[in-house]
Structure 1
């Protein structure tokens, strides 16, 4: 079961990183007033967050079923990465909304 843990942890880290990158792209497009592209990147960011969350849910479900996982630095790092990505995307979404309102 350790392989399941590492596989899902890496999925969390990779997808959270992708979400942050897509969020930054979205913000850059919004700053230029290109809101269609900004929203496309936000959608991609949210898709990546969903994939990261799904990997996290697999780990939580396995643990709830009695599987014991080792809590190590990479596990903690994955959770930190995911929470930061979620917060970042929430903030980018609000900034884009403000930029859109100012443009109207």
Structure 2
């Protein structure tokens, strides 16, 4: 893959992962935690692909290849890191939804 293809792989896979993470949050809001967990697994898969592409770039640079830093490369890195952070936050939010649901059930019963 050339540099642009690697960068677009990072952007596309991170973007799909972000979308899956937010979909998991919407599903969890309905109390469907198993389905939300599956969507988070899909998000993790996309992050893994994007991170693999990022690692390829790092290895190329370590091996002495010239890696041009461009606005596109900065955008790709930012997109991936933001997705990782948002997925982590969403996982915590889903945990809070579960706790709230459990507390509400206790209060009702």
Give the TM bin, normalised by the shorter chain: over 0.9
RMSD: 0.9
Gaps of 5+ in 2: 103-109
Partner of 1:84: 82
Runs of 4+ in structure 1 displaced over 2 angstroms? none
Task: Choose which of 38, 41, 63 in structure 2 pairs with 1:40.
Answer: 38
Question: What is the rounded CA distance, in whole Å, between the counterparts of 2:93 and 2:31 in structure 1?
Answer: 12
Question: Secondary structure in 1 aligned to 2:2?
Answer: helix
Using the size of structure 2 for normalisation, the TM-score is: 0.90
Question: What is the rounded CA distance, in whole Å, between the counterparts of 2:98 and 2:41 in structure 1?
Answer: 16
The residue correspondences of 1:1-104 to structure 2 (distance < 5 A) are: 4-104=2-102
The structural deviation recorded for 1:4 is: 2.1
Aligned length: 102
Question: What is the rounded CA distance, in whole Å, between the counterparts of 1:46 and 1:101 in structure 2?
Answer: 23
Partner of 2:105: none
Gaps of 5+ in 1: none
The structural deviation recorded for 1:103 is: 1.9
Using the size of structure 1 for normalisation, the TM-score is: 0.94
- The structure with the largest alpha-carbon Rg is 2
